[in-house]
Amino acid sequence: MLSIKKFAAIDIGSNAVRLLISTVTEPDNKPVTFKKTSLVRVPIRLGQDVFTKSYISDESTERMIDTMKAFSLLMKSHRIDAYRACATSAMRDAKNGKAVAEKIASECKIDIEIIDGSDEASIIAATDLHTLVDNNKTYLYVDVGGGSTEFTLFSEGKTIESKSFKLGTVRILNNTITEEVWSEAEQWIKDITKPYSRIEMVGSGGNINNIFKSSNKKLGKPLSYFYLSSYYQLLNSLTFEERISELSLNEDRADVIIPATKIYLSAMKWSKSKSVHVPKIGLVDGIIKSLYQNMKLVKA
């Protein structure tokens, strides 16, 4: 018998808030399919408040409430079966993060989980990455966000180790990252990849997706280190306004894309990766998978 369920994932990041609604179909005697039905992104940039003042401002709180009310109505309209809302680095670090989450629960009827870096990395690692890569190879998975970057090493189809660092694009823009954080990330990547002769990188996040789109490469083809480095030079050669007008970048993307590219290039250099695959998966995809797995456990 054909089973069709709809799940919703909310990712409350340091740069933007996202709602993904996916339709999960289970045909008889066939693999389950996940189809993205709707994806909404709102660039609230909570990290701008938190990484400079340690608090989420009243203005950002009101924007969050408006956004969550809209998300609640969208989920109701799509008649979802279950949802999960996860907040990452900005709300995690905000002194009033829990208070804001409680206010949203009261006014919007959406319960928010404030997850730590290891939880974030494990949710991302639960995506269908294994179906997109060669099980005979070793990959460093890099998910760059506004407040943190999650690194996961995969080898022969298995997760070897994951770690989250407070190395995010909004933090870099606000000059709140010390050289010590960069050094810790560099050393961790060098240590974890040292036993492997060849590493390929997998990148996720809105910035690397945007860069991949601009490359006009076919889906499944990786970006080379040379291409990413050349694009980084191009970005730095343009003003903020030129990046918007000439590269067709959104205003909230035109600044963070530079530090994001720096993080990807650094990870490639430290791991000696010559190419980066861009499968367009991230935290919201992992949340959808977690909802599906929970449903399967309940049925069992």
Does residue 129 register a pLDDT over 70? no
pLDDT surpasses 90 at 192: yes
Taking 80 as the threshold, does the pLDDT of residue 133 lie above it? no
82-94: average pLDDT: 95
Please state, in angstroms and rounded to a whole number, the distance separating the CA atoms of residues 282 and 208: 11
Burial of 79 (0-12, 13-18, 19+ CB in 10 A): exposed
Looking at residue 153, its pLDDT comes to: 92
273 to 17, 55, 162, 219: CA distances (angstroms): 31, 38, 18, 19
Per CATH, is 3-116 categorized as 3.30.420.40?
yes
Q: What is the pLDDT of residues 168-185, one digit of tens each?
A: 999 999 999 999 999 999
182: CB partners within 8 A, 6+ apart: 167, 266
pLDDT > 70? residue 61: yes
- This prediction has a pTM of 0.89
86, 145 in Cβ contact below 8 A?
no
Stated length of the chain: 300
Please check whether residue 152 is in contact with residue 141, taking contact to mean a CB–CB distance below 8 angstroms. yes
How would residue 284 be classed by pLDDT, with cut points 50, 70 and 90?
A: very high
Secondary structure of residue 7 in the 3-state scheme? strand
Would you say the CATH fold of 128-281 matches that of 3-116? yes
Mean pLDDT check: name the lowest of 40-44, 217-221, 252-256.
217-221
What is residue 116's predicted lDDT score, i.e. its pLDDT? 87
Using pLDDT thresholds of 50, 70 and 90, give the confidence band for residue 128: low
Give the confidence band of 12 by pLDDT, cuts at 50, 70, 90.
very high
Task: Please give the Cα distance from 27 to 205 (Å, whole number).
Answer: 31
pLDDT at 57 over 90: yes
- pLDDT value for 220: 83
Q: Check residue 159 and give its pLDDT.
A: 84
Least confident of 131-140, 273-282, 285-294: 131-140
Report d(CA 68, CA 64) in Å as an integer: 6
To the nearest whole number, what is the mean pLDDT of the chain?
A: 92
- pLDDT score at 273: 96
pLDDT value at residue 130: 59
Phi, psi of 181 (to 5 degrees): -65, -45
If pLDDT is split at 50, 70 and 90, which confidence band does 295 have? confident
Query: What is the mean pLDDT of the segment spanning 206-235?
Result: 94
Query: Cα 189 to chain center, whole Å?
Result: 19
Domain layout of the chain by residue ranges? 3-116, 128-281
Spatial distance between the Cα atoms of 283 and 134, rounded to a whole number of angstroms = 21
- pLDDT of 189 over the 90 cut: yes
Q: What is the pLDDT of residue 131?
A: 61
pLDDT at 258 over 70: yes
Average pLDDT over residues 30-38: 91
The answer to whether 159 and 166 have CB atoms below 8 angstroms apart is no
How do strand 275-277 and strand 200-204 relate by DSSP bridges? parallel
Handedness of CA 109, 280, 142, 126 (dihedral sign): positive
pLDDT exceeds cutoff 90 at 188: yes
Instruction: Reduce the DSSP state of residue 97 to 3 states and report it.
Output: helix
Report the chain's terminal Cα–Cα distance, integer Å. Answer: 17
Fold observed for domain 128-281: Nucleotidyltransferase; domain 5 (3.30.420)
Tokens found for residue 58 = 């009243």
Helix axis angle, 179-193 to 257-271, nearest 10°:
40
Give, in order, the Cα–Cα distances in Å from 12 to each of 43, 83, 118, 135, 152: 10, 13, 16, 32, 21
Q: Write down the pLDDT at residue 82.
A: 96
CA dist., res. 248 & res. 83, Å (int): 33
| Residue whose pair of structure tokens reads 């995690």 in the numeric block | 92
Residue 214: pLDDT band with limits 50, 70, 90: very high
